Amino acid sequence: TVKGFLTSLYFQFIPESARYDVSTGNMAAAMATLQKIAKINGRAVPEGVLREPAKEKRGRFKDLIHPKYLRTSLQIWIIWLGIAFAYYGVILASAALLERDLVCGSATPPVQDSRDDSEESRSPCYCHLFSPTAYQTMMISTVGEIALNPLNVFGINFLGRRLSLCITMGCTALFFLLLNTCTSSAGMIGFLFMLRALVSANFNTIYIYTAEVYPTTLRALGMGISGSLCRVGAMVAPFISQVLISASFIGALCLFSSVCIICAISAFTLPIETKGRALQVCI
């Protein structure tokens, strides 16, 4: 809530899009924005008069499945769905892993307090309180989402979008399986840390790729539909990381890993590499 409130205050300092002002006929506001940008960058505004660009045909859904973009769109949608599935899956699975002590595929139930031996306490839906160590593990693993961002940026620019995403998705699949490895507390923290870092890197890469691969007339529509499928993956994840994981820990991990492998293959076989490619304006 605090972050949302601070963000709402910050919005007043963000300038309006000059292109939007021009499209609405507010040339004075557009020129003021451009002058402010030029002043910040120590440059002068080029001479001339602002004019509204010629209206272009807006993108439609059928353009996304046009033969030119059909394969790209289908593979991108699979990747978006799988990445969200893995992202929310690892977050929820981490909590289940620490809460129920589901380590190494052990079927041994956690030790129950003899003073609370009711039927409710033996239910799989019963809330088992986190220990201080579990909270520390969750906090440290969460740092992984930002700690490896510089390496992610380097990989995207050096290896390209497709190969970088393929590698991080493949590593995500591997680390999901490693969660079933008998290891120390430090080892488990390391696995969760790397998983959070990798799923975050996956999101960063596919977001950049999707925005770059579609032309301007399709970009917003392509991002919107991809985001919608992303929500589908997020909605499915709790059924695996909270329900299936209680019945079969290794089964849930294998499912997450399999989805990541499918996404890795889809990323590697994407028909267009956007590294060094100019943004397309129209179809």
- Mean predicted lDDT score pLDDT of the chain: 83
Domain that holds residue 156: 61-105+126-268
Token digits for 214?
Answer: 């579609």
Please name which of 227, 213, 225, 219 lies closest in space to residue 271, comparing C-alpha atoms: 213
Q: Mean pLDDT highest for which of 51-55, 114-118, 171-175, 177-181?
A: 171-175
Torsion angle of the four alpha carbons 269, 270, 275, 281, in this order, in degrees rounded to the nearest 10: 160
CB atoms under 10 Å from CB of 194, counted, come to 19
How many structural domains compose the chain?
Answer: 2
Same domain, 175 and 225: yes
What span, in angstroms and rounded, lies between the C-alpha atoms of 216 and 223? 11
Higher pLDDT, 46 or 124: 46
Residue with tokens 């409710």: 120
In a domain, 45, yes or no: no
User: What are the backbone dihedrals phi and psi of residue 282, each rounded to the nearest 5 degrees, phi first?
Assistant: -140, 170
In a domain, 143, yes or no: yes
What's the pLDDT at 125?
56
| 23-80 tens-digit pLDDT | 777 888 888 888 888 888 888 888 887 777 666 666 788 888 888 889 999 999 999 9
What span, in angstroms and rounded, lies between the C-alpha atoms of 38 and 45? 6
In a domain, 6, yes or no: yes
CB atoms under 10 Å from CB of 73, counted, come to 22
Mean pLDDT confidence for 275-280 = 84
What's the pLDDT at 46?
84
Torsion angle of the four alpha carbons 38, 41, 43, 48, in this order, in degrees rounded to the nearest 10: -30
Same domain, 70 and 19: no
Same domain, 193 and 75: yes
Same domain, 34 and 66: no
Mean pLDDT confidence for 113-138 = 60
In a domain, 144, yes or no: yes
What span, in angstroms and rounded, lies between the C-alpha atoms of 8 and 183? 44
- Percent of the chain surpassing pLDDT 70: 85
The three-state secondary structure class of 72 is helix
Higher pLDDT, 167 or 142: 167
Same domain, 259 and 145: yes
Same domain, 79 and 36: no
What span, in angstroms and rounded, lies between the C-alpha atoms of 228 and 232? 7
Beta carbons of 238 and 77 less than 8 angstroms apart? no
Same domain, 173 and 255: yes
Q: What's the per-residue H, E or C state across 181-209?
A: CCCCHHHHHHHHHHHHHHHHHHHHHHHHH
In a domain, 47, yes or no: no
What span, in angstroms and rounded, lies between the C-alpha atoms of 21 and 16? 7
| 205-236 tens-digit pLDDT | 999 999 999 988 888 899 999 999 999 999 99
Question: Sorting pLDDT into bands at 50, 70 and 90, what band is 124?
Answer: low
Same domain, 30 and 79: no
Same domain, 95 and 24: no
Same domain, 227 and 191: yes
Q: Assign residue 83 the CATH number of its domain.
A: 1.20.1250.20
In a domain, 52, yes or no: no
In a domain, 48, yes or no: no
Q: What's the number of CA atoms in the CB half-sphere (13 Å) around residue 175?
A: 25
Same domain, 9 and 69: no
Same domain, 30 and 71: no
In a domain, 147, yes or no: yes
